[in-house]
Amino acid sequence: MNVTPDLSFLSLITNASLLVQLVLALLLGVSVMSWMYIFRKMFAISSARSQTEEFERTFWSGGNLNVLYQDAAANRRKSTSKIGALERIFESGMSEFQKTKASLASKGAADSGIMIDGARRAMRAAYQREMDALESHLAFLASVGSVSPYVGLFGTVWGIMNAFRGLANVQQATLAAVAPGIAEALVATAIGLFAAIPAVVAYNRYTHDIDRLAIRFESFIEEFSNILQRQVR
């Protein structure tokens, strides 16, 4: 009587060797973490983009810069979530500009170059902090996308080795005898790809979106520096 082996997905996992099961558990854990970072980064970039667009509309509407700075400072004191990345860059530059201007005025000097350079350095420092926050966890997604297939392949190779080693104790090797072992091993490759593909797609997409935001931030820094330079002339 021929007994058809159970090749269901759950059965393949439970019947796999201990090392293959450890590899599967590692890949599943990494996959869960990558999906968590994927959704968190999606919301963070979407929020940064909408806040940037809103601040750009407000800034270029022609309002008073001092009033805009006071509103940004008030929003930051209330809650950091209410102030976007570009608004924080603007606040840093405007704050440094006013401090330098007041310091030079108290000394009876008015060097426009020092004021502009100080504001630009402050905005650059704020820009680096914002980019560091936006790029957080991207390295993890890149690592998952590049390493997971090889981890899954390791589990597959180990499982196939065990399957063929088990054939040494069988007098007549048939496809039915070797199929369950090979199927168990190939599950590791499937899980590795399941973990890697979303991570690679998300990494490429988020890197592109962050680069677009970085260009907008850098353009704003230069344009705002020109505005400040015209004011001190």
Residue 1 falls inside a structural domain: no
CA Rg value for the chain:
29
pTM: 0.82
Q: What is the full per-residue pLDDT of the chain (233 aa) written as tens digits?
A: 444 555 565 666 676 678 878 888 899 999 999 999 999 999 999 999 999 999 999 888 877 888 888 888 887 777 655 688 999 999 999 999 888 888 777 776 666 788 889 999 999 999 999 999 999 999 999 999 999 999 988 888 887 887 777 666 666 656 566 666 677 778 888 889 999 999 999 999 999 999 999 999 999 999 999 988 887 76
Tell me if residue 227 falls in helix, strand or coil.
Answer: helix
Residue 77 falls inside a structural domain: yes
> According to the model, what pLDDT value does residue 2 have?
47
Residue 117 falls inside a structural domain: yes
> What's the gap between Cα 221 and its chain centre?
24
Residue 5 falls inside a structural domain: no
Residue 24 falls inside a structural domain: yes
Range of the domain at 113: 15-232
- Do 87 and 55 meet the contact criterion of CB atoms below 8 Å apart? yes
Residue 2 falls inside a structural domain: no
- Rounded CA-CA distance 123/222 in Å is 10
Q: Both tokens of residue 96? A: 């440094």
* Amino acid identity, position 150: Y
> What's the gap between Cα 72 and its chain centre?
26
Provide the domain count of the chain. 1
Q: Both tokens of residue 81? A: 């979530």
- Rounded CA-CA distance 57/72 in Å is 14
> According to the model, what pLDDT value does residue 89 have?
94
Residue 107 falls inside a structural domain: yes
Residue 68 falls inside a structural domain: yes
Q: Return the residue matching tokens 């597959």.
A: 156
